[in-house]
Structure 1
Amino acid sequence: MAQPAHPGPDLPDLLDQLALAHDAASPPEEIAEALESMVLHPDYPCLGARSVFNRDRATVVVLERLATEASTQTLLRALTDFGRETDRAAGFASLVAVFRASEVSGEPEFEALLWRQLELLYEADSQPWDPRVSDDPDNPHFAFSVGGTAFFVVGLHPQSSRIARRTPLPTLVFNLHEQFEELRASDRFGRMRDTIRRRDAELQGSLNPMVADHGRSSEARQYSGRSVPEDWAAPASFDDEETP
């Protein structure tokens, strides 16, 4: 039986409306509401993100420009506190950093800014890398670490070719990596993964070529959302001997 149509615009139309309505002058409360309306749209494919917003487990931090010293200091404090204070037993949680004064021309520029921002966080961070994950972006067991806590980073921006990665403003989502590991060890992981991939393919009209099962390739390839070639290497290093 066909499901009744949901009220309101389709997700791509909603994203276009949100992009027109939000800019560098938008107050933080409106930016957070825009993200929530996007994630809770019936067609949004990521069930984990929907759970985070439904359970009020999203910490939204509104900053100015991506990959600047000023934004880095504020974001470093927020991520350190988030990693230290978040109640893991209460379910999935994410820190969402929105850069309202940044504009990106396309996916390559956003990817470069994302990795520069991660490098700046690394350079400013006094805590050791989370020992549960690799600091080598080419390693299949890599995850970004800040404040001693490992995160899976999801980049979103207005110019993304993937609808599910298209936000009104450039955004970085920091998901606690240990929660992904716990989910992978559970019985429901396979079903949830397959459902998300099916929903994303239905929304986009094609499978996401960058989605890979854990341990087969580095998650760093997925951070920016851009479809990268097989020989891609992260434009960043988190090795003290290599970092300028």
Structure 2
Amino acid sequence: MSSTTQPVEEHLASQVIGGLPAWGIPYARDLLQTLTSTDAPFPCTFAVSAAKKSGLRFGFIDDEHDQRSWEALPDIIRSYLETYQSISRETSLIVLFRPGQEEDGKVGDYYQKFWDVLQFLHEHDTEAWPAEIPKDTDHSHWEFSFGGTPIFVVCNTPAHTARKSRSNPCFMITFQPRWVFEDLDPDTPRGWSARRVIRNRLRAFDGGEPSPELGNYGDPENREWRQYFLFDENEAKPPACPFRHT
């Protein structure tokens, strides 16, 4: 192992849930560099702060195409949910999926894969759906949940080109417990300020207007699931949520 790889692996070791495969090191390293860049500030200030304070946790899935490799994911999330409140208010679980040797998937292909993963997790969840979270995705208070915990989810893919904030060299899903967003309601000074800063940084980072799907949890017009996976074009909208409560 090279001298440049060793420190990276040592730095990541304390932030990894499960194993740290060799293929995952460069992906995690590049992501941390993106999040902490001062030349092109990443839009989500919470993710930036978490990266700087070692508040992120990483999980790795060896094959994005093979659902047998996804079987490690439920345990990774359960382990994270056992400790996330002791890590930091600014924490997220980032799961990186090893790409196949030839990747030419389109954004729509990844959209389906993303919802396949969430459906897989739901069907392998051993805890009851939170009583306070509606089961209907067309409800303003619906949120994906796992292990009895409401979780905001974000997907990044290699197919995203125009929306750079949702682009990543490998298929990536970020899980943020809703607890992270407590006291950040839009009608609070801190919540309002955070949204304004993030939207301005989105304009600079993506070179365009933020997606109209970005809204506030609980707003009657907002649907959380639409924010999970954003298409490259603001005009592109999925007709209905693929997730089915079972």
Q: What's the TM-score bracket when you normalise by the shorter of the two chains?
A: 0.7 to 0.9
Query: Which protein, 1 or 2, shows the higher relative CO under an 8 Å CA cutoff with sep ≥ 6?
Result: 1
The aligned amino acid for 1:224 is: F
- Structure-1 residue corresponding to 2:17: none
Partner amino acid, structure 2, of 1:144? F
Report if aligned partners of 1:48, 1:92 keep a CA contact under 8 Å in 2.
yes
2: distance between equivalents of 1:203 and 1:131? Answer: 38
Q: Displacement of 1:59 after TM fit?
A: 0.8
2:202 to 182, 200, 203: 200
Instruction: Tell me how far apart the structure 1 counterparts of residues 228 and 35 of structure 2 sit (CA, whole Å).
Output: 18
TM-fit CA distance, 1:35: 1.0
State whether residues 98 and 172 of structure 1, in contact with CA within 8 Å, keep that contact through their aligned partners in structure 2. Answer: yes
Q: 1:155·1:172 contact (CA, 8 Å) conserved in 2? A: yes
74-83 vs 207-216, greater mean Cα deviation: 207-216
- Measured against aligned partners, the alpha-carbon deviations of 1:165-201 in whole angstroms (never above 9, x if no partner) come to 1111010000111221332275311001011001111
TM-score with structure 2 setting the length: 0.80
On the 8 A contact 1:157/1:170 being kept in 2, the answer is yes
Q: Residue 28 of structure 1 is aligned with which of 11, 24, 31?
A: 24
Is the deviation greater in 184-193 or in 146-155?
184-193
> In structure 2, what is the Cα distance between the partners aligned to 1:91 and 1:177?
10
Does the C-alpha gap of structure 1 residues 152 and 133 become closer, same or farther in structure 2, counting only changes over 3 Å?
A: same
RMSD value, Cα = 2.1
Q: SS of the residue aligned with 1:196?
A: helix
Q: Which amino acid aligns with 1:180?
A: F
Q: What CA deviation, in whole Å up to 9, does each residue of 1:125-154 have, x standing for no partner?
A: 111112332232221111111111111000
Q: 1:221 offset after TM fit, Å? A: 0.4
Q: Match of 1:40?
A: 36
List runs of 5+ in structure 2 lacking aligned partners: 1-20
- Counting aligned pairs with the same residue, the percent is 23
CA 1:169 to 1:26, structure 2 compared with 1: closer, same or farther past 3 Å? Answer: farther
The 3 A distance-change label for structure 1 pair 104 and 188 is farther
Match of 2:59 in 1: 61
Match of 1:166 in 2: 167
Give the TM-score taking structure 1 as reference length: 0.80
User: Distance between the aligned counterparts of 2:73 and 2:125, measured in 1?
Assistant: 11
The verdict on how the C-alpha distance between 1:150 and 1:228 changes in structure 2, with shifts beyond 3 A counting, is farther
Residue correspondences, number: 215
Q: What is residue 8 of structure 1 aligned with on the other side?
A: none
Distance 1:171 1:179 in 2: 20
Task: Structure 1 unaligned segments of length 5 or more: list them.
Answer: 1-24
